[in-house]
Amino acid sequence: MAAFRANIRVEGLEGSDSTQVRDALRAKLAKAEVGDCRVLSVEPVKQRPAPPAAPYARRVAPAEGTWRKQSNAAGLILLITVGWAAWFFWSFVSLYLAND
């Protein structure tokens, strides 16, 4: 019969140093009735690096549609005002020329 070797990662073991963690792991393995095993090494878990920050998202003006409506309204008011002023000026000029 062939013999196999398995590497097992056990996480969540806590202790002040590696010998306490190793003893706790041996006790858990003995409870699990795994007799043919040895603890070869115990290494502290390194913190995973923080995920990279999201790329800078372009800011979109929240009221862009409202701004365009206001801009169109202002343009319309300006156009009406200029038209009225031109008509008013033309009417006075035409009256002045008609009276000569």
Q: Give the whole-angstrom CA distance, residue 28 versus residue 9.
A: 14
Mean pLDDT of 24-40: 74
Q: How confident is the model at residue 83 (pLDDT cuts 50, 70, 90)?
A: very high
pLDDT digits (tens, 9 = 90+) for 47-82: 677 777 777 777 766 665 665 556 677 888 999 999
Amino acid at 42: V
Distances from the Cα of 36 to the Cα of 3, 4, 94, angstroms: 12, 12, 115
Amino acid at 95: L
pTM of the model: 0.37
